[in-house]
Amino acid sequence: METLRSTVLDTIREHAMFRHGDSVVVAVSGGPDSVCLLHLLNELRDEFSLHLRVAHLDHSTRNGESTEDALFVESLAKRMDLECHVETVDVARMKPPGGSFEAAARDLRYEFLTRVANQTGSSKIALGHTANDQAETMLMRLISGTGRRGLAGIRPVRDLDDITCVRPLIDVKRNEILSYLESNNVPYRIDKTNLDPAYFRNKVRLELIPLLEKAYNPQVLDALLRSATVLQEEEQYLSGLARELAEQAVMRQNGSVIELSRDVYVSANLVLRRRLIMDVAQRLSEKTLRLTAASIEAADALCVSGQTGNRVCISDDVEISVERDRILAKKVLPHPATVSPGQTFSVPLPGRVSLETFGIEIETSVFERSQSIEELIAECGPQLQFFDAEKLGGDLYVRTRLPGDRFYPLGLGGKKKLSDYFIDTKRPRYERAETPLLLSGEDIMWVVGGAVDDRFKLTDDTRKVLKVQCAQVDQTV
């Protein structure tokens, strides 16, 4: 089937899917599409000097039939003399309560494929999506409600951090694949669940598309594919404009929060605002987001209104809120630690303690001063401070704020309410309750990440120095 081979070659070259010498993980389920993909890439590997590896994830479904699929893939890889990676997961057990089995299976597959690619030093993951998958995806997203980006369908090339997913069969129709396999006497597996119209995609493939072909347009598949191409080209242009907007709007960013200028956001076109919300949310999320049009519209309405105190959860792990002149996109931990007013944690001296509530680790030590005050102060920063150890009035501990908290910020020459300090330094409201305070006895020594108390500062009379160092800890689960 030279026509099929030529189509795939054209797709590979048009989208620059491979460079000579690439290591590629080929996702093989055992079905016709992925088996065809593996055979074609095996034929083409000398042309691109590809190093192929096979990966298969057994979903533990269909009363043991999925295990037979795994054995089939292993046998296929062995016949081709290709390295094969197979793992088994119980998708039904691992999916979140109330979540979709298909979505959980998809997320687990991508996690598995990315891990195999990283472990084997592979830069590409080849997936077997076809032109039919493209058309089905467009219809599914149209029915569910989506924007231009969603209607653009499946991208031929997509980056996942350092790994690139490529889809060499995206311009090939399923009947062409079946003809290729039959002509070459290539066996494959049939997943019976693909014939069950209870699943959304199956219903679109088995019922809706045949109806559209029969009653409305016999060439509806080609029409959808042409639309996908146009939309992807326009999507690429609009994404470039959205990146420019992000460069202007983003004021501050760390691992869990992105702050945007509300003035810049509101002045932008609605189309670009929507894209900025999607892009910012994706930066924070641990997974590939599939945001609904309704959630994006709700987030945009909040940002434009400027209503402080309200928030919109645009996914299960990202929320949007407004704080004065800023828009805050915040990552929501799957199992967030509870922060209550006055919550207290002991800090050993000397020693180290991990405070999961704040996502930090604190290490303390005391030493005889040998450096000048200026040299020590030069080392200080948001995560490191020095204090006069002989001025401590009690044990060290960390707690959250309490109503009426006051301290003596260094250099201000007097007492100040902690709440006023937060306002003056424009600390976002959501951060205030979660800000750790280092205390000696009943006195605040340090608003961690911010001001230290004047009463504990280093002076020329300081002989013993207390060193306190903080570090962020990984809270992912």
Burial of 257 (0-12, 13-18, 19+ CB in 10 A): middle
Map out the domains of the chain with their CATH numbers.
2-129+167-216 (3.40.50.620), 235-331 (3.30.465.60), 344-472 (3.50.40.10)
Are the C-beta atoms of 110 and 288 separated by less than 8 Å? Answer: yes
Are the C-beta atoms of 362 and 399 separated by less than 8 Å? Answer: no
CA-closest candidate to residue 468, choices 476, 458, 460:
458
**pTM check: above 0.95:** no
| Measured CA angle at 356 (ends 258, 333), to 5 deg | 40
DSSP letters for 97-164 = TT--HHHHHHHHHHHHHHHHHHHHT--EEE----HHHHHHHHHHHHHH---HHHHT---SEEEETTEE
Are the C-beta atoms of 389 and 464 separated by less than 8 Å? Answer: yes
pLDDT at 423 (0 to 100): 84
CA-closest candidate to residue 30, choices 84, 71, 62, 1:
71
pLDDT at 477 (0 to 100): 32
- Which residue shows structure tokens 């997913």? 165
In a 3-state reduction of DSSP, which class is residue 211? helix
Whether residue 350 is preceded by a cis peptide bond, meaning omega within 30 degrees of 0, is yes
Give the list of residues 6+ apart from residue 474 with CB closer than 8 angstroms, or none.
none
363: amino acid identity, one letter? E
Are the C-beta atoms of 304 and 270 separated by less than 8 Å? Answer: no
- Which residue shows structure tokens 């670009």? 272
Give the list of residues 6+ apart from residue 450 with CB closer than 8 angstroms, or none.
382, 421, 425, 427, 435
Give the list of residues 6+ apart from residue 401 with CB closer than 8 angstroms, or none.
341, 342, 418, 419, 432, 433, 435, 437
Structure tokens at 19: 């460079």
Give the list of residues 6+ apart from residue 92 with CB closer than 8 angstroms, or none.
60, 61, 101
CA-closest candidate to residue 278, choices 263, 265, 261, 295:
295
pLDDT in tens, the chain (477 residues): 578 999 999 999 999 999 999 999 999 999 999 999 999 999 999 999 999 999 999 887 767 778 899 999 999 999 999 999 999 888 777 766 666 777 788 888 989 999 999 999 999 999 999 999 999 999 998 888 777 888 889 999 998 778 999 999 999 999 999 999 999 999 999 888 888 888 889 999 999 999 999 999 999 999 999 999 999 999 889 989 999 999 999 998 876 889 999 999 999 999 999 999 988 888 888 666 777 777 888 899 999 998 887 788 888 778 898 988 889 998 876 544 456 777 788 888 888 888 877 778 899 999 999 999 999 999 998 889 999 999 998 889 899 888 899 999 998 878 999 989 988 887 777 678 788 999 998 899 999 988 999 999 999 999 999 999 988 654 433
Q: Give how far Cα 264 sits from Cα of 122, 245, 281, 418, 446, Å.
A: 40, 8, 18, 30, 34
CA dihedral over 128, 130, 134, 135, signed as positive or negative: negative
Give the list of residues 6+ apart from residue 433 with CB closer than 8 angstroms, or none.
339, 341, 400, 401
Are the C-beta atoms of 279 and 271 separated by less than 8 Å? Answer: no
pLDDT at 341 (0 to 100): 77
257: amino acid identity, one letter? V
